[in-house]
Amino acid sequence: MNTRTVPSMREVVLSVNGTDRPVQVDTRMTLLAALREKLGLAGSQKDCDQGQCGACTIHIDGERHLACLTLTVAAVASGEMAQEICTGLMSGVSA
Ligand code: FES
């Protein structure tokens, strides 16, 4: 029996610094990867990729999140953040 899951793509809208950016992402893609690879935004850095260094820290609705540990679809699906995700992203690392 094959238990592997088939990756699926989903169209989401990321609102980054007040601008809505539609993007198609793999449902397994982290928010950090979506921002850097799909939108070309390099303000959040990829370093440890394990939630330890904080280099990927972004703001979502004014709260800090580690983008390397956040699935893009999970962040978008969390109700109120659907249109407000990643506000303040380009402020860079905020410890
Ligand atoms: S890249 Fe180090 S915490 Fe995300």
Whichever domain contains 53, its CATH number is 3.10.20.30
Compute the distance between CA of residue 63 and CA of residue 44 in angstroms, rounded to an integer.
Answer: 15
In a domain, 29, yes or no: yes
Q: What is the number of the ligand 1 atom nearest to the C-alpha of 47? A: 1
| pLDDT of amino acid 64 | 85
pLDDT in tens, 3-59: 676 779 988 888 887 788 889 999 999 999 999 999 998 888 899 999 999 999 888
Structurally, the chain folds into a number of domains equal to 1
Compute the distance between CA of residue 3 and CA of residue 14 in angstroms, rounded to an integer.
Answer: 31
Domain that holds residue 48: 9-86
SS (H, E, C) 67-91: HHHCEHHHHHCCHHHHHCCCCCHHH
Mean pLDDT of 76-92: 48
pLDDT in tens, 55-72: 998 888 778 889 999 999
Mean pLDDT of 64-86: 71
Nearest CA owner, ligand 1 atom 1 = 49
| pLDDT of amino acid 93 | 37
Pocket of ligand 1 contains residue 92 by CB under 6 Å: no
Compute the distance between CA of residue 69 and CA of residue 35 in angstroms, rounded to an integer.
Answer: 13
| DSSP letter assigned to residue 45 | -
